[in-house]
């Protein structure tokens, strides 16, 4: 009665279909007998026969049967096996394997439900498990756990070794006859395969592994598919031609501080065996006219389309460098290499036949053992040991195109023309200013104070700097010009950064480099007063900087020139420094 | 893009959940996992020691919707680090990483005939050193495409079948521009938003297979969308670049006692209408023009041999030779001038390895190889052409 | 037969006569350059060594782990990690994978000790944490695959003493806050090599910075030996030794 009420309540409380009454035979083959109740008789089994609690099932020498318990547990019995259903309550089930081999698959159980399988020697508690178990009547048993975990306990603690084990999937336990303690061991491939094969009754031996073999074939097929796909993708990649004509390359598209879209390409190349060339090319499809800030310098060039600017650094060594950059570290280490000369050229090359440029050269001074920028660069008679710049607008001249001329200036193939006005001659004697070009050299003054803003910067002020220095044309003291620079640290969207963006970003410095760039706008302006001695403060310097440019450009009137607007990305510097660190550190020694 | 990758990975990740924790071993889904990772040290004859690795992870799923309809899905992550590479392909320090998704549907139309349409997506990153960001790589690439293949089995006992496949890919290089060309001859490319190398690739291949012999012929056409052909004045004209490639290959798998051999030979003919203007440096006013710079014929022979000493241990060796002869490209001498002989690159590799099976799914391999690369081009400032090298490494692989 | 094999083997492994000597000095400078270029990445590699991203072995519910080498010694990253199993495989419903929650915290002792004696630095915090979840499913009794997600954060914060602040790009800096953070996707396969011995291989891929690493691990009852491979890192191989207790 109580059982009935209990069963009724449980039947209502649980989702329908979970409990279907008693254990049931799903399928069978060969000689199978069932004892439906505890006190019943052994009768021949048939499909869908029910076995109550206390009942049992056994197979003969060629029999096999699958029993399903109400909690969806499936038990497969092989031949010569006897199984008793000792307990089958809602929250506790226990099977007893008298002898033979069974495979049990227990699905997930309810929270407090217990499921145990007992053999003469031990008892196993399981939850959500699949395992096989074999035993003989005198207690020799063999347990293989396939999925889940089995808590195993000897009924009689053995003389040696532990009495309880928790056996996870992939392991098995065999009781041994030689007196050694039983311990779980990893399943071998063969044992696992035998346990995993199809235990359904009525199958011939070679049919049992059919499912496994089919799975293996499927795996082989998908493995093949993976292989052919990978090789197809590789083939696609192999077709993408790469012709490398430079050592290092980097590029980025971003917006500059004036809002123009900019594309920056950086390369490092080696024009000759003893020369390195690093350049930063900048292209803007459109360069809008802008009004400079009060601290900055006027721009007179107007709106321009397809604007090209570049910065180039060339360094020439006294020995040929090894062809491959990988050999440089040991080369610099082993030899006394020094640079012969170096030059920095910044140019606005929007028109190939009219180039506005600013160049600085450095020559090796053996006495000081370093590269020095002074009037020796232009081979001026009297040595003035201050910075020299060469600047102006180069146009196509007879026999020397603007590009060729700039190339010569880059190689420092120039000398003072001797006309006492800062004019230059090429190394072969022809005048640089053949009739259309306007190129001069100037040396930094030693008495005028340069202009620099801002003077002091509070925390988190934008990283923008304006500065200008006064230069003496031809070192004569009669004509002066101002070399003006605006420097900004900008992000990819053109916004000016602050120091706080770098120090308080809580993201790694490496990512910061990817998102930032340096922009510098350079121009050469006239001096209003043309007297360096009067410039004693930064404010006086700003007042002396004319809004008119020194050199006119693109057919503009006198004073209507242009600027050089370079965006410099750090991408390549990091890679170059890392590659050439041994070389650089040696050079500085 | 990242979101797509993430959700696809999550979906792939939940796929095993659909059938695992095995109680009923699923008849519908079969998973596939393969992780291979290798790391090696390279010692070139010139230059310092460097290390590079390769990681290859593949996750796949086969769904048998019905007996005749199968659906394959595959996600592939592959990273190729520094290492020796054939000449004119990449520098030692170049690294690349790619994610690929492939989906294929297979249908058996008759017992012997099967069609396989599929789609593929791939995104790849590359950079030349560890200190550049992957995001900004000049040669980053995205590709999407589809393919249609058909298999016909003509000899079931000896596993004889023939496959015909047509593959289509649209490839984009979003970061790649060439401002240098712009500077050398203004107004030539006019393109600063990237995508100079964008192209559409079509490939047709026919591959028969019989009794462990395999071979095939593959014909590929690449049509560039933006890149134009440079003329001998240095100006990029109006013709768009177009490359074609024909490859023939043949190989077989042969087992003799404990030896296993997989020799393979392939022959490739590549033609392109692109020429090349050689500028030695920025501002070079005397560039040299080379017509049909990219046409070549290449032969590739590889003979891997494995010796299965025991079921766990195996010794392997491989011999590989690759030879590329350019049709019209002249070799360059050390001063970066063209000489009068056509460029020929050869690369020979000899590899030895010891493989141990950890269990049925995992294995570890120790390998060492010796490489000789030679070419009649002596201009090696930017790409290596002549060197010898050794490499030693270890590889782990787990495949289920 | 054996002799031929041995000779062939010797031939394959013999060094080429043209092989140049290894220049360790410039290799060291190159490594220094790589560290300077991406310091956060270098320190994060050691955090990856202590991150416990393998699932709990079947049957265990809770685990504590601390990493000994190369994190505690010599990098002085004192660390502790916890793993908790929310539910086992197939417990909630058939086919639902095991879900483990993992998390850990580490702190660099050397940074704290260095600031005690420093005149310019007021306080230095160098540490990090990670949290994540791992799903694992068995595809066969002895092969388990696992998938997961983790979020890793590395923080480096320096506070300078008032009056001793350094200058950076023309402005005085009172504190320096940098670090590394990313979301990682983890995928791996695990197979047992013996009772209480698991061998696994996994890939960790950072979605935002595309940092990735591959870990091979021999996981025993109390100790774990690992080989972490960072192909794009400064020190490519990190041999790892961890101690754990699982309940």
Instruction: Spell out which residues of chain C touch residue B123, defining contact as CB-CB under 8 Å.
Output: none
Band the pLDDT of A249: cuts 50, 70, 90: confident
Q: Would you say the ipTM is above 0.95?
A: no
Instruction: Spell out which residues of chain C touch residue A143, defining contact as CB-CB under 8 Å.
Output: none
A222 and A169 in one domain?
Answer: no
Interface of A with B in 215-254 (CB under 8 A): 215, 218-219, 221-223, 225-226, 229-230, 232-233, 235-253
Interface test mutation site (partner C, options B11, B14, B48, max chain C beta carbons within 10 A): B48
A243-249 — which CB contacts under 8 Å span 24+ positions?
A: A243/B88, A243/B276, A244/B91, A244/B382, A244/B383, A245/A269, A245/B180, A245/B278, A245/B279, A245/B382, A246/B180, A246/B382, A247/A325, A247/B381, A247/B382, A248/A572, A248/A575, A248/A576, A248/A579, A248/B128, A248/B129, A249/A572, A249/B128, A249/B138
A403 and A320 in one domain?
Answer: yes
pLDDT tens-place string over residues A357-379:
999 999 888 888 888 888 888 88
Instruction: Examine residue C16 and state whether it is found in any structural domain, yes or no.
Output: no
Instruction: Examine residue C64 and state whether it is found in any structural domain, yes or no.
Output: yes
A438 and A581 in one domain?
Answer: yes
Name which residue leads in pLDDT, B131 or B274.
B274
Interface test mutation site (partner B, options A185, A197, A228, A249, max chain B beta carbons within 10 A): A249
A198 and A214 in one domain?
Answer: no
The reply to whether the predicted model has a pTM over 0.90 is no
Give me the pLDDT at residue B370, please: 96
Interchain contact, A247 vs B382, CB within 8 Å: yes
The whole-angstrom separation of Cα B282 and Cα A279 is 8
Give me the pLDDT at residue A452, please: 86
pLDDT tens-place string over residues A75-93:
999 989 999 988 888 888 8
pLDDT tens-place string over residues A93-142:
899 999 899 999 887 777 788 889 988 888 888 877 888 888 888 778 88
Give the CATH number, domain containing residue C119.
2.40.128
A116 and A181 in one domain?
Answer: yes
Distance from first CA to last CA of chain A, Å, rounded?
Answer: 101
Residues C31 and A571 sit within 8 Å (Cβ to Cβ): no
B–C: how many Cβ contacts below 8 A? 167
A–C: how many Cβ contacts below 8 A? 146
Give me the pLDDT at residue A374, please: 87
Interchain contact, A263 vs B192, CB within 8 Å: yes
Does position C17 have pLDDT exceeding 60, yes or no? no
Instruction: Examine residue C218 and state whether it is found in any structural domain, yes or no.
Output: yes
Name which residue leads in pLDDT, C45 or B89.
C45
Does position C16 have pLDDT exceeding 50, yes or no? no
Give me the pLDDT at residue B392, please: 94
Give me the pLDDT at residue A581, please: 62
Residue C97 domain boundaries: 25-246
Most confident of A410-414, A513-517, C162-166: A410-414
- Which of A203, A230, A256 is where one domain is finished? A203
Task: Give Dmax over CA atoms of chain B in angstroms.
Answer: 76
Give me the pLDDT at residue A507, please: 66
pLDDT tens-place string over residues B130-140:
556 787 777 88
Q: What is the mean pLDDT of residues B176-185?
A: 74
Residues A389 and A441 sit within 8 Å (Cβ to Cβ): yes
Q: Is the minimum CB–CB distance between B141 and chain A shorter than 8 Å?
A: yes
Instruction: Spell out which residues of chain C touch residue A581, defining contact as CB-CB under 8 Å.
Output: 29-30, 32-33
Interchain contact, C91 vs A128, CB within 8 Å: yes
Q: Is the minimum CB–CB distance between B314 and chain A shorter than 8 Å?
A: no
Instruction: Examine residue A266 and state whether it is found in any structural domain, yes or no.
Output: yes
Give me the pLDDT at residue A301, please: 85
Band the pLDDT of B208: cuts 50, 70, 90: very high
Q: Is the minimum CB–CB distance between B157 and chain A shorter than 8 Å?
A: no
Nearest-CA neighbor of A273 among B276, B288, B281? Answer: B281
The whole-angstrom separation of Cα B392 and Cα B87 is 20
Band the pLDDT of A18: cuts 50, 70, 90: very low
Please name the member of A219, A249, A323 whose beta carbon is closest to the beta carbon of B32. Answer: A219
For the ranges B159-173, C25-39, C118-132, the lowest mean pLDDT is seen at C25-39
Does position C108 have pLDDT exceeding 60, yes or no? yes
Band the pLDDT of C220: cuts 50, 70, 90: very high
Location of structure tokens 């493989």:
B355
A580 and A450 in one domain?
Answer: yes
Please name the member of C23, C38, C59 whose beta carbon is closest to the beta carbon of A149. Answer: C59
The whole-angstrom separation of Cα A311 and Cα A385 is 25
Interchain contact, B390 vs C16, CB within 8 Å: yes
* Helix spans in chain B (H): 2-19, 179-184
Instruction: Examine residue A7 and state whether it is found in any structural domain, yes or no.
Output: no
Instruction: Examine residue A493 and state whether it is found in any structural domain, yes or no.
Output: yes
Instruction: Examine residue A449 and state whether it is found in any structural domain, yes or no.
Output: yes
For the ranges B46-55, B182-191, B223-232, B309-318, the lowest mean pLDDT is seen at B182-191
Counting the structural domains of chain A, the total is: 3
pLDDT tens-place string over residues A271-324:
888 888 888 889 888 898 888 888 888 888 888 888 889 999 998 988 888 877
Q: Is the minimum CB–CB distance between B369 and chain A shorter than 8 Å?
A: no
The whole-angstrom separation of Cα B117 and Cα B199 is 22
Contacts of A161 (CB under 8 A, 6+ apart): A180, A181, A182, A183
Instruction: Examine residue A4 and state whether it is found in any structural domain, yes or no.
Output: no
Instruction: Examine residue C7 and state whether it is found in any structural domain, yes or no.
Output: no
Instruction: Examine residue C14 and state whether it is found in any structural domain, yes or no.
Output: no
Give the CATH number, domain containing residue A72.
2.60.120.1440
The whole-angstrom separation of Cα A3 and Cα A19 is 14
Band the pLDDT of A564: cuts 50, 70, 90: very high
Does position C131 have pLDDT exceeding 90, yes or no? yes
A223 and A195 in one domain?
Answer: no
Interface test mutation site (partner A, options B48, B268, B283, B400, max chain A beta carbons within 10 A): B283
Does position A576 have pLDDT exceeding 80, yes or no? no
pLDDT tens-place string over residues A470-492:
999 988 888 899 999 999 999 88
Instruction: Examine residue C3 and state whether it is found in any structural domain, yes or no.
Output: no
Q: Chains touching chain C at 3 or more Cβ pairs under 8 angstroms?
A: A, B
Give me the pLDDT at residue B217, please: 94
The whole-angstrom separation of Cα C7 and Cα A347 is 64
Structure tokens at A188: 């071998």
Does position A62 have pLDDT exceeding 50, yes or no? yes
Q: What is the mean pLDDT of residues A1-5?
A: 53
Interchain contact, C92 vs A108, CB within 8 Å: yes
Coil vs helix vs strand at A106: strand
Please name the member of A170, A506, A510 whose beta carbon is closest to the beta carbon of C142. Answer: A170
Give me the pLDDT at residue B277, please: 84
A126 and A266 in one domain?
Answer: no
Instruction: Spell out which residues of chain B touch residue A510, defining contact as CB-CB under 8 Å.
Output: 131, 133
Please name the member of B60, B183, B272 whose beta carbon is closest to the beta carbon of A281. Answer: B183
Structure tokens at A539: 């404010």
Band the pLDDT of B239: cuts 50, 70, 90: confident
Does position B325 have pLDDT exceeding 90, yes or no? yes
Interface test mutation site (partner A, options B79, B268, B333, B381, max chain A beta carbons within 10 A): B381
pLDDT tens-place string over residues B326-383:
999 999 988 888 999 999 999 999 999 999 998 888 899 999 999 999 999 998 888 8
Counting the structural domains of chain C, the total is: 1
- For chain C, what is the mean pLDDT? 83
Q: What is the mean pLDDT of residues A412-426?
A: 87
Residues A330 and A585 sit within 8 Å (Cβ to Cβ): no
- Which of A222, A241, A260 is where one domain is finished? A241
- For chain B, what is the mean pLDDT? 85
Q: Is the minimum CB–CB distance between A333 and chain B shorter than 8 Å?
A: no
The whole-angstrom separation of Cα B312 and Cα A530 is 89
Q: How deeply is A429 buried, as exposed, middle or buried, from its count of CB atoms within 10 A (0-12, 13-18, 19+)? A: exposed
Shortest alpha-carbon distance between residue A338 and chain C (Å): 18
A237 and A265 in one domain?
Answer: no
Shortest alpha-carbon distance between residue A317 and chain B (Å): 16
User: C143 phi and psi, to 5 degrees?
Assistant: -130, 125
Residues A248 and A267 sit within 8 Å (Cβ to Cβ): yes
Instruction: Examine residue A503 and state whether it is found in any structural domain, yes or no.
Output: yes
Location of structure tokens 């923080």:
C155
Please name the member of B19, B44, B390 whose beta carbon is closest to the beta carbon of C15. Answer: B390
- Residues of chain C with pLDDT > 70: what percent? 89
The whole-angstrom separation of Cα B358 and Cα B338 is 54
A163 and A69 in one domain?
Answer: yes
Task: Give Dmax over CA atoms of chain C in angstroms.
Answer: 79
A221 and A276 in one domain?
Answer: no
**What's the angle, vertex CA C97, arms to CA C91 and CA C101, rounded to 5?**
95
Instruction: Examine residue A10 and state whether it is found in any structural domain, yes or no.
Output: no
The whole-angstrom separation of Cα A333 and Cα A587 is 9
Give me the pLDDT at residue A589, please: 44
A–B: how many Cβ contacts below 8 A? 215
Please name the member of B6, B22, B57 whose beta carbon is closest to the beta carbon of C187. Answer: B57
Band the pLDDT of A71: cuts 50, 70, 90: confident
- For chain A, what is the mean pLDDT? 83
Q: CA C233: distance to chain centroid? A: 11
Band the pLDDT of C14: cuts 50, 70, 90: very low
Does position C84 have pLDDT exceeding 90, yes or no? yes
Instruction: Examine residue A12 and state whether it is found in any structural domain, yes or no.
Output: no
pLDDT tens-place string over residues A139-155:
788 889 888 888 888 88
Please name the member of C20, C139, C187 whose beta carbon is closest to the beta carbon of B20. Answer: C139
Residue A122 domain boundaries: 19-203
Band the pLDDT of A3: cuts 50, 70, 90: low
Q: Is the minimum CB–CB distance between A393 and chain B shorter than 8 Å?
A: no
The whole-angstrom separation of Cα A143 and Cα A191 is 11
Contacts of A252 (CB under 8 A, 6+ apart): A263, A264, A492, A517, A569, A571, B136, B175
Instruction: Spell out which residues of chain B touch residue A232, defining contact as CB-CB under 8 Å.
Output: 120, 147, 167
Does position A180 have pLDDT exceeding 80, yes or no? no
Q: How deeply is C39 buried, as exposed, middle or buried, from its count of CB atoms within 10 A (0-12, 13-18, 19+)? A: middle
- Residues of chain B with pLDDT > 90: what percent? 49
Name which residue leads in pLDDT, B280 or A258.
A258
Band the pLDDT of A349: cuts 50, 70, 90: confident
- Residues of chain B with pLDDT > 70: what percent? 90
Interface of B with C in 27-56 (CB under 8 A): 31, 33, 35, 37, 39, 43-49, 51-55
Does position B20 have pLDDT exceeding 50, yes or no? no
Contacts of B153 (CB under 8 A, 6+ apart): B111, B112, B113, B114, B160, B161
């Amino acid at each position: 009665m109580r059982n009935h009420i209990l069963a009724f309540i449980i039947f209502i409380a649980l989702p329908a279909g979970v409990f279907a009454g008693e254990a049931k035979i799903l399928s069978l083959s060969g000689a199978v007998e069932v004892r439906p109740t505890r006190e019943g008789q052994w009768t021949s089994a048939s499909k869908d026969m029910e076995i109550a609690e206390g009942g049992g099932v056994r197979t003969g020498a060629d029999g096999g049967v699958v029993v399903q318990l109400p909690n969806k547990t499936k038990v497969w019995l092989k031949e010569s096996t006897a199984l008793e259903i000792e307990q089958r309550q809602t929250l506790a089930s226990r099977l007893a394997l008298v002898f033979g081999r069974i495979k049990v698959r227990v699905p997930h159980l309810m929270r407090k439900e217990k499921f145990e399988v007992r053999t003469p020697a031990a008892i196993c508690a399981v939850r959500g498990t699949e395992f096989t178990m074999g035993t003989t009547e005198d207690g020799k048993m063999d347990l293989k756990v396939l999925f889940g975990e089995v808590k195993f306990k000897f009924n009689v603690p053995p003389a040696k070794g532990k009495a309880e084990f928790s056996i996870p999937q992939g392991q098995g336990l065999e009781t041994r006859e030689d007196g050694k303690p039983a311990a779980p061991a990893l399943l071998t491939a063969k044992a696992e395969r035998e346990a995993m094969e199809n235990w359904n009754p009525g199958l011939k031996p070679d049919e049992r592994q059919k499912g496994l073999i089919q799975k293996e074939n499927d795996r082989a097929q998908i493995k093949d598919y993976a292989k052919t796909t990978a090789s197809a993708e590789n083939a696609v990649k192999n077709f993408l031609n790469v012709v490398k004509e430079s050592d290092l390359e980097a590029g980025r598209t971003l917006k500059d501080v004036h809002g123009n879209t900019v594309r920056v390409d950086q390369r490092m190349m080696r024009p000759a065996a003893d020369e390195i060339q690093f350049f930063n090319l900048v292209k803007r499809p459109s360069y809008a006219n802008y009004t400079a800030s009060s601290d900055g310098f006027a721009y007179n060039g107007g709106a321009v389309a397809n604007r090209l600017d570049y910065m180039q650094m060339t360094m020439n060594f006294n020995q040929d460098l090894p062809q491959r950059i990988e050999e440089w570290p040991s080369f610099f280490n082993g030899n006394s290499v020094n640079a012969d000369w170096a030059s920095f050229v910044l140019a606005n090359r929007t028109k190939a036949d009219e180039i506005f440029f600013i160049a600085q050269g450095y020559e090796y001074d053996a006495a000081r053992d370093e590269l020095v920028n002074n009037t020796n660069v232009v081979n001026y008679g009297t040595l003035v040991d201050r910075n020299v710049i060469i600047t102006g607008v180069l146009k196509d001249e007879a026999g020397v195109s603007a590009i060729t001329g700039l190339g010569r200036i880059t190689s420092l193939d120039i000398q003072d023309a001797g006309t006492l006005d800062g004019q230059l001659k090429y190394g072969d004697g022809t005048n640089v200013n053949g009739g259309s070009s306007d190129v001069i050299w100037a040396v930094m003054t030693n008495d005028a104070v340069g202009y620099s803003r801002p003077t002091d910067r509070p925390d988190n002020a934008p990283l923008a700097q304006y500065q200008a220095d006064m230069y003496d044309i031809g070192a004569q003291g009669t004509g002066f010009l101002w070399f003006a620079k605006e420097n900004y640290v900008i992000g990819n969207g053109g916004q000016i950064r602050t120091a706080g963006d770098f120090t308080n970003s809580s993201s790694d410095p490496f990512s910061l480099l990817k998102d930032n760039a340096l922009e510098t706008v350079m121009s050469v302006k006239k001096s209003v007063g043309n007297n360096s001695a009067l410039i004693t403060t930064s404010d006086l310097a700003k007042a002396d900087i004319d809004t008119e440019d020194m050199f006119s450009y693109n057919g503009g009137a006198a004073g209507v020139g242009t600027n050089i607007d370079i965006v410099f990305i750090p991408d390549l510097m990091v890679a170059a420094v890392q590659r050439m660190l041994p070389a650089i550190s040696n050079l500085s020694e | 893009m990242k979101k797509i990758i993430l959700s696809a990975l999550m979906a792939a990740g939940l796929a095993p959940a659909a059938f695992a924790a095995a109680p009923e071993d699923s008849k519908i889904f079969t998973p596939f996992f393969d992780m291979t990772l290798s790391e090696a040290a390279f010692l070139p004859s010139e230059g310092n020691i460097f290390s590079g690795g390769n990681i290859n992870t593949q996750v796949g799923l086969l769904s048998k919707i019905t007996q005749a309809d199968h659906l394959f899905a595959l996600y592939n992550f592959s990273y190729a680090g520094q290492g020796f590479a054939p000449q004119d392909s990449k520098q030692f320090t170049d690294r690349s990483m790619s994610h690929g998704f492939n989906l294929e549907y297979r249908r058996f139309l008759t017992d012997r005939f099967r069609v396989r349409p599929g789609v593929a997506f791939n995104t790849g990153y590359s950079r030349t050193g560890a200190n550049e960001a992957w995001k900004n790589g000049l040669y980053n690439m995205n590709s999407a495409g589809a393919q249609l293949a058909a298999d016909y089995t003509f000899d079931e006992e000896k596993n004889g079948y023939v496959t015909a496949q047509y593959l289509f890919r649209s490839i984009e290089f979003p970061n790649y521009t060439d401002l240098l060309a712009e500077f050398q001859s203004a107004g030539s490319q006019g393109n600063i938003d990237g995508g100079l190398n964008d192209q559409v690739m079509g490939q047709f291949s026919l591959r028969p297979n019989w009794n462990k012999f395999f071979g095939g012929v593959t014909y590929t056409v690449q049509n560039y969308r933006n890149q134009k052909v440079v003329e001998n004045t240095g100006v990029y004209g109006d013709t768009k670049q177009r490359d074609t490639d024909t490859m023939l290959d043949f190989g077989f798998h042969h087992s003799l006692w404990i030896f296993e051999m997989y020799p393979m030979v392939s022959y490739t003919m590549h033609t392109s209408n692109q020429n090349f203007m050689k500028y030695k440096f920025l501002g070079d006013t005397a560039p040299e023009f080379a017509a049909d710079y990219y046409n070549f014929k290449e032969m590739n022979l590889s003979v891997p041999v494995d010796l299965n000493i025991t079921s766990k241990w195996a010794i392997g060796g491989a011999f590989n030779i690759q030879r590329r002869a350019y049709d019209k490209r002249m070799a360059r001498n050390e001063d970066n001038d063209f000489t009068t002989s056509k460029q020929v690159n050869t690369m020979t590799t000899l590899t030895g390895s010891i493989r141990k099976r950890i269990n049925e799914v995992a294995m570890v391999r120790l390998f060492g190889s010796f490489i000789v690369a030679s070419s009649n081009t002596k201009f090696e400032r930017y790409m290596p052409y002549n060197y010898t090298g050794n490499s030693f490494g270890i590889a782990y692989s787990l495949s289920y | 037969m054996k002799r031929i094999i041995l000779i062939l083997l010797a031939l394959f492994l013999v060094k080429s006569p043209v092989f140049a000597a290894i220049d360790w000095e410039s290799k060291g400078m190159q490594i220094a350059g790589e560290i300077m270029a991406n310091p956060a990445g270098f320190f994060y590699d050691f955090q990856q060594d202590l991150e416990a991203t393998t699932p709990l072995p079947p049957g265990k519910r809770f685990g504590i782990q601390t990493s000994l080498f190369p994190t505690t010694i010599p990098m002085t990253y004192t660390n502790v990690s916890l793993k908790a199993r929310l539910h086992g495989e197939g417990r909630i419903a058939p086919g639902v994978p095991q879900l483990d929650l993992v998390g850990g915290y580490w702190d660099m002792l050397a940074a704290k000790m260095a600031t005690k004696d420093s005149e310019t630095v007021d306080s230095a915090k160098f540490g990090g944490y990670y949290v994540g979840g791992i799903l694992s499913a068995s595809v066969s009794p002895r092969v388990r695959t696992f998938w997961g997600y983790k979020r890793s954060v590395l923080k480096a914060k320096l506070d300078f003493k008032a009056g001793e602040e350094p200058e950076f790009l023309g402005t005085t800096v009172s504190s320096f806050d940098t670090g590394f953070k990313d979301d990682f996707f983890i995928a791996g396969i695990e197979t047992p090599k013996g009772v209480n011995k698991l061998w696994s291989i996994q890939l960790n891929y950072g979605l935002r910075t595309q940092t990735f690493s591959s870990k091979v691990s021999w996981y025993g009852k109390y100790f774990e030996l690992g080989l972490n491979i960072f192909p794009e890192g400064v020190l490519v191989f990190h041999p790892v030794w961890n101690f754990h207790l699982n309940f």
